[in-house]
Amino acid sequence: MDIKSLYREIVNEHNLHPIHKHDLENPTLVLNGVNPSCGDDIDLQLVVKDGVIRDAAFNGSGCAVSQASADMMCDLLIGKSEEEAKRLSDLFMGMIKGQKLTEEEKEELDEAASLEDVSHMPARVKCATLGWRTVKEMVDKLSETGTLE
């Protein structure tokens, strides 16, 4: 399977059968993220306890790339610390902006690394990064206000 069909397959799978697209019962943090240029609109929900993301989910609507990327991201975030979440979102956004990642860095991103090709699709960049930008904003706010728990 070449990288392009792998990309399509993974995006399709997460878009049609998202694992984390639902509302959490008791999220400690909720932030809305929008990408007006495409019409993507998600509410990202996290349960953060003792500085660790215990659960992550999203709800909303948008194109396949935005929804699939948010789903992969939630999967990756569960069990990660605030700092790790920040690092992963920086890695992902760097990759989408065309930075070359090392094999180790790609492994850290797991399935989300399959979206690397989006860096050659300018119209899809904001779709792919929507969830990641939103989580970064959440984590930044947390470190400013210190209301993690």
Find the shortest distance in angstroms from Cβ 67 to Zn ion.
8
Residue located via tokens 């690092």: 87
Q: How far is CA 41 from CA 3, 37, 48, 60, 136, in A?
A: 28, 11, 22, 6, 16
The separation between CA 56 and the C-alpha centre of its own chain, rounded to angstroms, equals 10
Find the shortest distance in angstroms from Cβ 62 to Zn ion.
5
Distance CA 89, CA 81 (A): 12
Residue located via tokens 């960049």: 125
Find the shortest distance in angstroms from Cβ 58 to Zn ion.
14
Q: Which parts of this chain interact with Zn ion (CB under 5 A)?
A: 38, 40, 63, 66, 127
Find the shortest distance in angstroms from Cβ 100 to Zn ion.
25
The separation between CA 107 and the C-alpha centre of its own chain, rounded to angstroms, equals 15
